[in-house]
Homo-oligomer: A and B are copies of this chain.
Amino acid sequence: MGPTTKSQGSSLPSPSKPRLLIIGTGWAGWTPNPHHNHPLPLPNSGPYPSLASAACGIFDFRIAEEPVRRLKNAGKVVKYKVHVSSVDLGKRVVRCRAAVGSNGDARLIGSSEALDSGLSDDGEEGEFELGYDKLILAPGSETNTFGTPGVLDHCLTMKSVQDAMKLRERILDCFELASLPIYSEARKKEILHFIIVGGGPTEVELAAEIDELVHDHLLKIYPDLKGMVTLSVYDVADRMLGQFGEKLSEYAMEKFRRRNVRVCMDRKIEGFESGVMKVKEDGNVRFGTAVWCAGNKATGLVDELKTRKGGGAMERVFTDRWLRVLKPEGAKGQGEQHFEDAYALGDAADIEGQSHPPTAEVALQKAEWLAKHLNDVENGKDMGGEFNFDQKPLVAYIGRKDGVVDGGGEWTGKGAWLAWRSGNLEWTRNWRRRAMILLV
């Protein structure tokens, strides 16, 4: 028999060691675990799954929970599936709400949200507090619609494994529907119009994925629909992959055009209605599936946090170079600038005075640095050096064994793809999308 928890309320494992509480199980929140000797209570603030096991090919509906749970056998990790509604950085208390079953986030519980079997009758009981000695804030980010009307009602998004599963279902639904003998050819073409909004690496790789799925698989299963599928990428920017060099960007756009992917840049999207995207330059564009991945914004938790913040389009928690959360502007000049024992990283955080992009690469480097740092401090070593970001090459897969790599020389074509495949290049955040699509 394993241990049985008899106590209630905010009890956590053995208080003989500091209680480290991590909010988030994405790239940033997950990494410190295996490196750390502390007992690790691990609330999960929302749909930010760790994709470690996806990378290894061990896919599961419950990708977010099972790998984390399994750690429990190895160490003293306690994991709660909750929404974190607030954090009191002074009193060191986190307020949580159950995020499972009928109380929870529909995105996390899949298709069982409609079932009412008494898991929802606990009312305010669902709220509880957790104390901590050290806190790691890594709640990630949310989809930003920039106020565009209709996005959340008529578009899919790509922030979670569940989103990727929905997209796959949706694509197949469109092929099934277009197969019925009730539509004109024109209507079939509308149903088989797939739109991706956003021209960054994630969107470009998603377009490449859909292009391959359609041509390598679906058109073989639905041969009658050949010639009726259109894939379009829309963005407000004037070119795809803006953060890559101009030459690489042109290379990718030219490759897409040659495959009959419509590359529609410099477009202002004014809104969505049922099956229709309104574009200032093009008028009404009809579609069967639209995926909105045009931007990220801070989570509600970050909005509520009383810390120093900044970061332009997406508000981010500011930390110092030791990743310690900084007190609000008003606290300047009044003793320590940072909260004690509170760290932040991932999309939700940035270092004041620096400006790192919200990518998995940055999150992973910070997480590895922080795990080592916390263990060093725990073991009585000195604080060591501050965090320094090591810029790796930018990688984007553009489909059909072709890719672009920026940094350390510009690579294109099969060489770029092989370089990634051979493990010479680091995973980028964008590859998580790829892993998800392929595996679901």
Interface residues of A (CB under 8 A from B): 1-11, 61-62, 65-66, 69-70, 72-73, 79-82, 98, 100-101, 104, 109-112, 115-122, 125-128, 130, 153-156, 162, 165-166, 168-170, 172-174, 176-177, 179-185, 190-191, 219-224, 226-227, 274-276, 286-290, 440
Q: Which residue on chain B has the smallest CB distance to residue A119?
A: B177
The listed residue with most B CB atoms (<10 A of its CB), out of A1, A112, A166, is A112
Minimum distance in angstroms from A377 CB to a CB of chain B: 28
Residues of B within 8 A of A127 (CB): 182
- Can you list 24 A-B pairs, Cβ within 8 angstroms, ordered by A? A1-B226, A2-B219, A3-B223, A3-B224, A8-B181, A8-B182, A61-B168, A72-B221, A73-B221, A80-B179, A81-B176, A100-B173, A101-B173, A101-B174, A101-B176, A110-B111, A111-B166, A112-B170, A116-B154, A117-B170, A117-B274, A117-B287, A117-B289, A118-B154
Identity of the chain B residue whose Cβ is nearest the Cβ of A9 in the assembled complex: B181
Cα–Cα, bound, A101→B61 (Å) = 22
Please report whether the interface of chain A is mostly helix, strand, loop or mixed according to DSSP.
mixed
Given A118-B274, A173-B100, A274-B120, are A181 and B110 also a contact pair (CB < 8 Å)? Answer: no
CB distance from A284 to the nearest CB of B (A): 11
Known contacts A170-B115, A288-B119; A227/B4 CB under 8 A: yes
Shortest CB–CB separation between residue A90 and chain B, in angstroms? 23
CB closest residue in chain B, given A163 = B111
In the complex, which residues of chain B have a beta carbon less than 8 angstroms from the beta carbon of A168? 61
Cα separation A224 to B11 with both chains bound (whole Å):
13
A119 CB to closest chain B CB, in angstroms? 6
Q: How far in angstroms is the closest Cβ of chain B from A13?
A: 10
Q: Which residues of B contact A182 (CB under 8 A)?
A: 8-9, 98, 122, 125-128
Q: A8-B181, A116-B154 are in contact. List 4 more A-B contacts (CB 8 A).
A: A1-B223, A69-B221, A81-B176, A117-B154
